[in-house]
Chains A and B, each alone.
Chain A
Amino acid sequence: MTPRGYAGKYLNVDLTREKIGDVTFPEETLEQYFGGRGLGAKILWDRIGGKWSEVDPLGPENVFIALTGPMTGIYPGGRICCTGKSPVSNGTVGSTASTEFAHELRTAGYDGVIVSGRADKPIYILVTEEGGEIRDASHLWGTMGEETLKILNKEVSDELVSRDPDVGLMKEPGMIYVGPAGENMVRNACVMTKLCHAAGYGGYGSVMGSKNLKAIVAKGRGPLPEVYAPEAVKLLWKRAHEHLISRDSFRRQGTGYGGWSTGNFYSSEPIRNWQEEWHDERSFGGPMFETRFWVKKQWSDFNCTTGCMKVSCVKTGPWKGAITDNPDYELQSYCGTNFGIYDPEANIHLSALIDNLGHSGIGGANTMGYAAELYQRGILTEKDVGFKLEWGDTEAFDRLARVIAYREGVGDVLAEGTYRAALKIAEMKGLKPEELLRYAVHVKGIEVGAHGTRSDEDFLAHDIGYAVNVQGGDHTSVVRDGYHELSGSVFTDSAVICNFARTPQELMFDFAKAVTGYPITVESWRRLNGPRIVTLQKAFLLLGGPDVTWEPVRDDENPPRFYEPLPSGPFKGRTTDRELVRRRRLVYFETLGWDERGIPKKETLEKLDLGFLEKSMFRLR
């Protein structure tokens, strides 16, 4: 009997042998790992856990997984979770993005798509109620995000209507796709969807690119999966929306006001590759985006009333026609203040370009900022780059983004992501790696989100937030204390719902219980499900390889720059407290039942039903 809240089956695609079939997972696994980030990790272990260190993330053996969770589409803010062995951290990241693809997949009767192997020519996968099929995508290979979306929209809609002509108008399919960056396997490229939504962390765009997989498209017409207690769910659904509607300022501003306030209030915004974190450029304030550029002021994703997204459009000047979301805070900062740019119009242009190229707005822009600092310090010269790369020069960063996406010249090195680019450039320039890694702001290879830890005023990032995070610099899953975030981001990324659609925890967990019928509580998630998922991800991270393996404790650390004193703003001189980080790291390991080097202890693995990890963890102790 299909577990409640699940469509009940997953599409399994082997691209090398062009074999497509359905696969299911025992109810016990679903109860333990739920979906998305958690279930993805378990699938990865079952498939390639044994030879994890040897698997090349960009090789055919790596598995690209797009999963929903039991609450996706039913609870406000439906998202898709992309995961697999990460080409950036060599561990795993539960990288989510809001998209209609998620609930379309579920209404087509699938909870996820698992892709292994490598296609010999560009293809995309179409999932409908009749099952999955592999279709040619050669005419799509090389197209930018906006083009891909337009062409696929029409092509698939026409195809589905032709198959069932008199059923009436066919709504558009949902889809996830990669841009040129993913196709050219830029390591931190992301999986794009809905023009400006991205599963940004983890570099899964390059994993799709490595499999010649241009897109996965889904269109279903069935109902959302049955739930355990329908009437309870309907009541909780109403109450959840009432809560979301009550948050007026967030609905009004979305994250589009952060570009000024994070820098000005919290001094934790990346400015010129994190050389500073404070600014007071009023030209970059929310109203300056809203009044001139927001053509739609409440743009929501499936089943969500927050409407934190906005549609911006540049209507005049050289970048006329650029369309993207507010941009959301991460891209306001990374494609704005991080480049020394405080002009909303330029910021919208660069955000739209980065989305269309398929770069990760955070990872890609971090690497571009890193290159600009090397240029500032003379390590990279105009000859190396091929053009002048001054801070604040939008044209230069526009070219740099394209050069990296198409791996031209220095772009080929920078396409390896900030960490590996640092090592390569050190080699090229005959410098010691440390001299380059000083400016690389990453943790475990994953470029840090736009929330610094030095001011300690930020609402997200503090001392060990990134240091011990199994998803490295991922700001959406920063660690607080090894306890709270387990029922926070670990839960939302496994139930695959939006972090911003959080309602009071009892309501969310009652909702989860009413949907699945599993005896989930905040407590059970914080003591068992959460630690189990995080420990499994920690194991992957520790195994690492093949090109990089992280050194326990030494690499469970903030980037060097986060220990330099802040040079400006009200918190000038302040920095992350290294001693506090060391102490809290130990407490964190202890809380999760890991030894002082962060290796999961034997009894912890037993307790969390992760016995299968003992053999490989033993070797690391």
Chain B
Amino acid sequence: MVKPLWIARDPSACSGCRRCELACSMHHEGWMWPEASRIRVFMPFPGLEVPHLCSQCQDYPCVEACPVEALSTDPDYGAVIVDREKCTSCGACIRACPGTVPYLHPGDDKATICDLCGGEPECVEVCTEAGYNALTIVNEGPSVHRKLYSRNPVDTARDLAVNMFGEKGEEVIE
């Protein structure tokens, strides 16, 4: 059984500091590279920051969609693992993902997906250190709700806008 670990995310608590992007890219790429971070913070309108990362859907649509089996799931925490040699940058996993989370790496153009840092995500560390708790580790097993979190960040932002700004919220995002 996959060890229970998931990154619970609360966009309304996100401050927009993007330290998760920096911590993640420093960990995986060796240097600050927001666009190569597995977690990217979208800001369709100032104040509406939405951390966007893989939710490890229990039916893994991206893994199913890959024509060359470059994607697999890690046995411990159920993260999606990308085999960068096999990946042909065709973008099938991007289209298959309900939230369009994967993207092609600006460096090697390969599909880039969160691997949960082997169980101790860097993004969660810097977020909890700063006390925002927009990202928190929860010891919960796979559930159907995870896939629901895989949404287009603009849709999440539209909801946040209404929650924060009321009626005006409906006008701030085209």
Across the interface, which residues of B come within 8 angstroms of A321, CB to CB?
A: 165-168, 171
A136-172 at interface with B (beta carbon < 8 Å) = 146, 149-151, 153-154, 166-169, 171-172
From A210-218, A222-230, A425-433, A578-586, the one touching the partner chain is A222-230
A167-B104, A169-B103, A223-B36 are contacts. A245–B129 as well, Cβ < 8 Å? yes
Stretch of A39-47, A305-313, A375-383, A395-403 contacting B (4+ beta carbons < 8 Å) = A305-313
Interface size class of B (residues with CB under 8 A): 35 or more
The stretch that binds A, out of B10-18, B67-75, B136-144, is B10-18
- Which of A292-300, A342-350, A546-554, A569-577 binds B? A292-300
Can you name the residue of chain A whose Cβ is closest to the Cβ of B31?
A223
Chain A: interface residue total (CB-CB under 8 A): 49
Residue among A74, A220, A311 making CB contact with B35, cutoff 8 Å: A220
- Are A230's CB and B15's CB within 8 A? no
Which of the residues B35, B43, B94 comes within 8 Å of A172, measured between beta carbons? B43
B20 to chain A, nearest CB (A): 11
Task: Please name the residue on chain B nearest to A230 by beta carbon.
Answer: B31
User: B33 contacts which chain A residues (CB < 8 A)?
Assistant: 107, 222-224
Tell me whether A169 and B29 are in contact (CB under 8 A): no
CB within 8 A of A221: which of B29, B35, B174?
Answer: B35
Pairwise interchain contact B130-A299, C-beta atoms closer than 8 A: no
B25 touches A303 (CB 8 A): no
Q: Is there a chain B Cβ closer than 8 Å to A100's Cβ?
A: yes
Query: B103 — which chain A residues lie within 8 A by C-beta?
Result: 167-169
- Residues of A close to B42: CB separation below 8 A: 169, 171-172
Q: Is the CB of A305 within 8 A of B47?
A: no
Interface centre among A73, A103, A301, A305 (most CB of B within 10 A): A305
B residues less than 8 Å from A146 (CB atoms): 172
Q: Which residues of B contact A168 (CB under 8 A)?
A: 91, 94, 100-104
Q: Does A81 sit at the interface, judged by CB under 8 A?
A: no
A196 close to chain B: CB less than 8 A: yes
- B78 CB to closest chain A CB (Å) equals 22
Across-interface contacts of B91 in A (CB, < 8 A): 166-168
Q: Does A454 reach chain B (CB closer than 8 Å)?
A: no
Please give, as numbers and ranges, the residues of chain A lying within 8 Å of B130 by CB-CB distance: 241, 245, 305, 307
**Contact B94 A296, beta carbon cutoff 8 Å:** no
The minimal Cβ–Cβ distance linking B96 to chain A, given in whole angstroms, is 12
Interchain CA distance A234-B19 in the complex, whole Å:
12
Query: Cβ of B66 < 8 Å from any Cβ of A?
Result: no
Nearest Cβ on chain B to A107's Cβ, whole angstroms:
6
Q: Which of B26, B45, B100, B131 is A169 in contact with, Cβ under 8 Å?
A: B100
Select which of B17, B32, B168 is within 8 A of A223 by beta carbon: B32
B24 shortest CB reach to chain A, Å: 12
- Chain B proximity of A289: nearest CB distance (Å): 15
User: Can you list 5 contacts pairing A with B, beta carbon distance less than 8 Å?
Assistant: A73-B32, A153-B44, A168-B104, A223-B29, A295-B165
